[in-house]
């Protein structure tokens, strides 16, 4: 039996509660190309952490702005999860001024929304649109994938599996799960749901779902999917040959069958397109938050062999990472 251990960063885009992780294009990076150039645009960037996904998003954003031909100056502030750094970053942005702020990660987005209410904000690497609710000066690109996208991929990777199980916290994820039930039905799947109110309920919940589900689907619910529950979930999946759909490439390396993920550089480019529209005069209120437009994925062929599952060759070829 392969060694299974909890992935170190389950949600790399969240503050360090869970570490490495949560689509339909609406705004093309560099979408303002061809419009009159904004002269000497002042762009402030506030970054929650200096981990690779954040740096990739920053690089993609800068690429989008540079490609547009807009002359700009950047001030970049890395918070490293530190409230003191956040206060200092806000003070410097206020002093130097900014035409638009690119906030990368939930901490940066919350910091900018609270501290810069009069400045347009484009946020990236936030979990979902709710993270931007109530901030009239903010829009951006969120990480959460619509259940329709999740189930379309499940049908591609596991075309013979029709019964899908999901563990969730009713207090945190009821609305998401209700929507997923309908999306699963539309996709020709049956979603078996099991609420988990406390960690002690997890073993019974897994056993219950394991009797009904062909595959377990992980959702970004920190009450249920976290570093403490990763190992028992993956061990249950392995021992009972019920594949688990993870939340990021880290999960796949740890034993999940596959996981959808995001192209963080492309998210930066997508946010860059939104920022360029703002610089050209589009009000923030006219730009609704969007899901990430590009989905990538990883697969674990060792897990597939153990569970006697045949992953379509086209799916394997298209993966950004294959564990074998």
**pLDDT < 70 stretches in the chain:** 1-39
In angstroms, the first-to-last Cα distance of the chain is: 14
Cα-only R_g, the chain: 21
Distances, alpha carbon 263 to alpha carbons 23, 207, 285, 320, in Å: 11, 34, 26, 10
Distance (Å, whole) CA 95 – CA 122 = 20
List, in order of start, the domains of the chain with CATH numbers: 41-144+263-294 (3.40.50.2300), 147-261+296-323 (3.40.50.2300)
**CA-closest candidate to residue 257, choices 286, 214, 288, 225:** 214
pLDDT digits (tens, 9 = 90+) for 229-256: 999 999 999 999 999 999 999 999 999 9
CB of 19 within 8 A of CB of 51? no
User: Residue written as tokens 């502030």?
Assistant: 77
Q: Which residues contact 220 (CB under 8 A, 6 or more apart)?
A: 11, 21, 22, 127, 144, 247
pTM across the whole model: 0.81
Looking at residue 131, what is its pLDDT? 87
Looking at residue 130, what is its pLDDT? 87
Distance (Å, whole) CA 12 – CA 8 = 9
Please, is 145 exposed, middle or buried when counting C-beta atoms within 10 Å of its C-beta (0-12, 13-18, 19+)? buried
The C-alpha angle 86, 96, 267, rounded to 5 degrees, equals 60
- Helix-strand-coil split of the chain, %, nearest 5: 40, 20, 40
Looking at residue 33, what is its pLDDT? 39
CB of 98 within 8 A of CB of 89? no
Looking at residue 134, what is its pLDDT? 85
Question: Rounded to the nearest 5°, which phi and psi values hold at 37?
Answer: -70, 140
């Amino acid at each position: 039996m392969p060694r299974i251990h909890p992935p170190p960063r389950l949600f790399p885009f969240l503050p360090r509660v869970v570490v490495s992780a949560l689509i339909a294009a609406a705004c093309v990076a560099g979408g303002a190309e061809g419009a009159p150039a904004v002269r000497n645009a002042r762009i402030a960037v506030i970054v929650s952490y200096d981990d690779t996904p954040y740096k990739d998003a920053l690089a993609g954003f800068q690429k989008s702005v540079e490609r547009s031909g807009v002359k700009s100056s950047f001030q970049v502030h890395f918070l490293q999860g530190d409230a003191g750094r956040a206060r200092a970053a806000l003070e410097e942005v206020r002093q130097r001024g900014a035409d638009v702020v690119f906030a990368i990660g939930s901490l940066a987005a919350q910091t900018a929304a609270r501290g810069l209410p009069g400045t347009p904000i484009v946020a990236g690497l936030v979990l979902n649109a709710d993270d931007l609710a109530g901030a009239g000066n903010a829009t951006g690109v969120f990480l959460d994938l619509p259940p329709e996208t999740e189930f379309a991929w499940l049908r591609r990777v596991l075309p013979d599996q029709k019964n899908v199980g999901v563990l969730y916290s009713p207090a945190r994820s009821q609305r998401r799960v209700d929507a997923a039930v309908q999306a699963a039905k539309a996709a020709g799947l049956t979603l078996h749901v099991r609420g988990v109110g406390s960690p002690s309920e997890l073993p019974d919940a897994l056993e219950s779902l394991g009797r009904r589900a062909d595959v377990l689907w992980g959702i970004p619910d920190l009450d249920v999917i976290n570093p403490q529950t990763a190992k028992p979930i993956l061990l249950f999946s392995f021992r009972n040959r019920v594949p688990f759909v993870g939340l990021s490439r880290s999960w796949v390396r740890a034993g999940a069958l596959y996981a959808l993920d995001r192209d963080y550089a492309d998210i930066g480019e997508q946010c860059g397109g939104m920022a360029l529209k703002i610089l050209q005069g589009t009000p923030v209120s006219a730009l609704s938050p969007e899901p990430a437009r590009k989905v990538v994925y990883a697969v674990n062929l060792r897990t597939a062999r153990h569970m006697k599952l045949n992953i379509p060759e086209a799916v394997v070829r298209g993966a950004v990472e294959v564990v074998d």
